[in-house]
Amino acid sequence: MKVALFVPCYIDQFYPQVGIATLQLLEKLGVTAHFPPQQTCCGQPLANSGCERDALPIYKHFVQTFQDYDYVVAPSGSCVYHVRKHFDKLEQTAEVQHVRGAAYDLIDFITNVLEVKELPGAFPHKVGLHLSCHGQRGLHQANESEMTPVRDGQLRRLLASLDGIELTHLNRNDECCGFGGTFCVSEAGISARMGQDRVADHVRNGTQVLTGSDMSCLMHLEGIVRRANMPIRVMHAAEILNGLTP
């Protein structure tokens, strides 16, 4: 099984520790992932801004970079969702179809490809789980409150398998954090307000460590937490599952 690690552009530049945790976690699960250094981005920031045409060279570059791997694993559901859903704009060659199907969010890969249902380790903290919309509603990694009252999902199960962990019960289980890519600057007011409301839900319900499997949501939420000096630590789920302590 040839597995490539896709480290989204902002993680590469601002959150290298998340890429490292992803690589190490996979290694612990018996998967040696390779990081093709020519990789850049999935093109989503451009396409979400209405500039899909300008993103096409990025899409092609992405496919060329990853076409020789069986799986492309990324610690970001949003990028994976973009590759799977919106690379339909490319001519659907065998390579393009392969890469679209091979792209996996880290947690999805652990759950459905490696079929790992629980992980060893302890994390004796009160953890608030932030579900990213693209992972949840896009990639169906967790139940949606629009459909069912049952709160279940891949990451919830993996986290719950850690000793001593307590998951926060939120008032709004899966409301969007307001990041939204370029939305966070083009609609900065609403974006910030959504993030503040999301963090307040965690604070109100006792979250000590806020986590999720999509670093873009967490980058936004962390920015709000740090600005307001809130007593919350933000960590990517890969870091927790890899055994890092807050």
Partner 1 sequence: MNHAIRADKFLLDADRTTWHDETLWFVREKRDRAVYAVPEFQELRELASQIKDHTLSRLDNYLMEFEAAAQANGVHVHWAADATEHNAIILDIIRQQGATRIVKSKSMLTEECHLNPYLIKHGIEVVDTDLGERIIQFRGEAPSHIVLPAIHLKKEDVGDTFHRHLGTEKGESDPQRLTEAARQHLRAKFLAGQVAISGVNFAVAETGAVVVCTNEGNADLGVNLAQVHIACMGIEKLIPRLTDLGVFTRLLARSATGQPVTTYTSHFTKPAEGREMHIVIVDNGRTQQLGRPDFRASLKCIRCGACMNTCPVYRRSGGHSYDFTVPGPIGAILSPNIDMKKHASLPFASTLCGSCTDVCPVKIDIHTQLYKWRQVLGEASEIPASKKWSMKFMGRLLASPRIFGMSGQFARKALRLLPHGLTHSSAFNAWAVARELPEPPKQSFRDWYQQQPQSIEQPQHPKVPV
Binders of partner 1 in range 183-212 (CB under 8 A): 183-197
Q: What are phi and psi of 110, to 5 degrees?
A: -60, -45
* Residue 210 DSSP one-character state: E
Asked if 37 touches partner 1 (CB under 8 A), the answer is yes
CB of 136 to partner 1, least distance (A): 9
Per CB under 8 A, the list member of 182, 208, 244, 246 interacting with partner 1 is 182
Contact (CB, 8 A) for 81 and 134: yes
Query: Helix or strand or coil: residue 186?
Result: helix
Q: What residues numbered 155-174 form the site for partner 1, per CB under 8 A?
A: 172
Q: Which is nearer to partner 1, 45 or 243 (CB)?
A: 45
Per CB under 8 A, the list member of 25, 26, 39, 103 interacting with partner 1 is 39
Asked if 133 touches partner 1 (CB under 8 A), the answer is yes
Per CB under 8 A, the list member of 162, 224, 238, 241 interacting with partner 1 is 224
Neighbours of 8 (CB within 10 A): 25
Asked if 7 touches partner 1 (CB under 8 A), the answer is yes
Asked if 135 touches partner 1 (CB under 8 A), the answer is no
Helices (H), ranges, the chain: 9-14, 16-28, 44-48, 52-66, 77-86, 94-102, 106-108, 133, 154-160, 183-186, 188-204, 215-227, 237-241
Q: Which is nearer to partner 1, 98 or 126 (CB)?
A: 98
Contact (CB, 8 A) for 34 and 102: no
Asked if 153 touches partner 1 (CB under 8 A), the answer is no
